[in-house]
Amino acid sequence: MIHHISLAVSNPPHVAEILSKMLGGSAHRFSIIPGAYMVFTGDEAGTTIEVYPVETELIPGEEDAPVSFQQTQCIASYSATHAAISIKLSESEVLAIAEKEGWRSRRFRRGTFDVIEFWIENRVMLEFLTPEMAADYLKIHCR
């Protein structure tokens, strides 16, 4: 079970607002990192998405120190970070949100189940699974 993930984006408040609508949650400032937001889903796992400014890097602490954050000028065009997330919205609702934002979004087959690739700011991908897609996913991954 994943309790939280983080994404680095160009417009954290806007992305947090969109994700809170997609996930049926709420968006709030994340005071630890300037300009960051958190999206709380309110589900039984406490699932949260941390939305950082794109310039943010996580750096391992030295010796016994915890992680630290720094700003960088080297920003990648795309990210390998992604997650598959179950949502209550329909495929048409997801595609409509993406179209309104000007973000790429398409349904694709992943072996035995489908996902909707949802490209936040056309740079970071989340795979959204409608209830039907999630049921197919769980048939394979929860034996």
pTM for this model (two decimals): 0.89
Identify whether residues 29 and 92 lie together within a single domain: no
Q: What's the confidence (pLDDT) of residue 77? A: 86
Identify whether residues 62 and 103 lie together within a single domain: no
Domain that holds residue 71: 1-75
Exposure of 20 by Cβ count < 10 A (0-12 exposed, 13-18 middle, 19+ buried)?
Answer: buried
Q: Give the chain's domain count.
A: 2
> Any idea which residue has 């309110």 for tokens?
42
Q: What's the confidence (pLDDT) of residue 1? A: 67
Q: What's the confidence (pLDDT) of residue 115? A: 97
Query: What pLDDT, in 10s, does the model give residues 74-97?
Result: 888 888 889 999 999 999 999 999
Which residues of the chain fall below pLDDT 50?
A: none
Identify whether residues 111 and 142 lie together within a single domain: yes
